[in-house]
């Protein structure tokens, strides 16, 4: 288990406005799992040919995705964007 945390960037209100509660719950579940990976979170999701930078991870069977940054010096995963196709 890692001592990493996760947070919304810029804010929860901005990123989750208008999303169904189930989508928000899934995003928060995935963010918790990403934080548990700790430094390995820089290798999760797309792009698969390099690590670091803004990454993407599908949610709910491909009906959307999250964009996130894993920042080792902050020991934090930042959720930067949520795209939901519905």
86 pLDDT tier (thresholds 50, 70, 90): confident
Q: Is the pLDDT of residue 31 over 70?
A: yes
Three-point CA angle 35, 45, 1, nearest 5°: 25
Q: Of the CATH numbers 3.40.1350, 3.30.2310, 2.60.40, 2.60.120, which one belongs to the domain with range 5-84?
A: 3.30.2310
pLDDT of residue 1: 62
pLDDT of residue 49: 87
Query: What region, left, alpha or beta, does residue 60 occupy, with left being phi > 0 and alpha being psi -120 to 50 degrees?
Result: left
Q: Specify the pTM.
A: 0.91
What would the mean pLDDT of 35-54 be, rounded to a whole number? 92
Domain ranges in the chain?
5-84
Three-point CA angle 41, 42, 47, nearest 5°: 115
2 pLDDT tier (thresholds 50, 70, 90): confident
What would the mean pLDDT of 54-76 be, rounded to a whole number? 95
């Amino acid at each position: 288990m890692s001592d990493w945390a996760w947070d919304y960037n810029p804010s929860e209100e901005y990123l989750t406005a208008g999303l169904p509660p189930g989508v928000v719950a899934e995003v928060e579940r995935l963010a918790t799992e990403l934080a548990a990976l700790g430094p390995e979170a820089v290798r999760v999701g797309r792009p698969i040919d390099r690590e670091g930078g803004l990454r993407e991870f599908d949610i709910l069977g491909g009906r959307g995705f999250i964009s996130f940054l894993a920042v080792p010096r902050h020991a934090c995963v930042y959720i930067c964007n949520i795209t939901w196709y519905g």
